[in-house]
Amino acid sequence: MEHLGILAHSMEGAALCLRTFCLEGAERMGAYQHPDVTLDCIALAHSMPAWDVGNYLSIRSTLAVSVQRLARAGADFFVCPDNTAHIALEQPGEDLALPGLHIAEVVAGQAVRDGRTRVGVLGTSYTMDGPVYPRAFGSRGIAAEIPGEQDRRVLNRIIFDELVNAVFTDSSRQEYVRIIGRMADRGCDAVALACTEIPILVAPEDSPLPTLDSTRLLARAAFDVAVGKQPMPTWRGGPVGG
């Protein structure tokens, strides 16, 4: 079995990824069993000033330190359960110390298997306004839709004021459900929960549309790699396919 490294950028999403990976082991391998896994987390506070000014190369450098530490801990590959972080990870630069699964590629692959054609993307303002999901979906012939400007502000505020701080309220859940309903009205046939904390707030039964849970999809894809069901990834940061 391969040793997974989890590159954490925000706490709650990384914790859910770790938990899902380990529970997958118990379900598929037997009680208390799972492949080796190591998590490394540099506090989000170190990167937030760079996010505020769009200094993605600085963030990439910080994330690369975590990947190096995971490699030294014996990890064979990594995942980053933070959709926004992939904007920085996709920046050109030296190869990361480990190959990694790309979260948007995993989500888009599932959308193809589900037969989706138009997917709403919910996440931070960086993710919703950024290039990662339009590229991942577009390369597969799937349209990526984002909420209107006011709704994007609501989603982003809830993520940074509440979700990453482990605050999950009924009122915020209702806001997300309302916005997902609007995406359904616009013709979306699924919604990507493209912030890894959103699945903690919005369960599939809450959503007016089928959900693509980026956190759990990534964890289960990582499990498949770790047990040899899927090949090792080759992406080491930078533009996908570059």
Q: Which residues contact 24 (CB under 8 A, 6 or more apart)?
A: 34, 219, 220, 223
Position 148, amino acid: G
Q: What is the DSSP string of 78-91?
A: EE---TTHHHHHTS
pLDDT score, position 214: 98
Separation between Cα atoms, residue 11 and residue 187, nearest integer Å: 33
Q: Alpha helices of the chain — where are they, by DSSP H?
A: 11-29, 48-53, 56-72, 85-89, 103-113, 125-129, 132-138, 149-161, 170-185, 198-201, 214-226
Q: How confident is the model at residue 154 (pLDDT cuts 50, 70, 90)?
A: very high
- Per-residue model confidence as pLDDT tens digits over 167-207: 999 999 999 999 999 999 999 999 999 999 999 999 999 99
Pick from 138, 107, 110: nearest CA to 122: 107
- Per-residue model confidence as pLDDT tens digits over 62-93: 999 999 999 999 999 999 999 999 999 999 99
- Per-residue model confidence as pLDDT tens digits over 104-123: 999 999 999 999 999 999 99
Q: Which two tokens stand for residue 17?
A: 């990824």
Q: How confident is the model at residue 241 (pLDDT cuts 50, 70, 90)?
A: confident
Position 83, amino acid: N
The pTM of this model reads: 0.97
Pick from 210, 209, 213, 189: nearest CA to 199: 213
How many percent of the chain have pLDDT more than 70? 100
- pLDDT, average across residues 34-44: 97
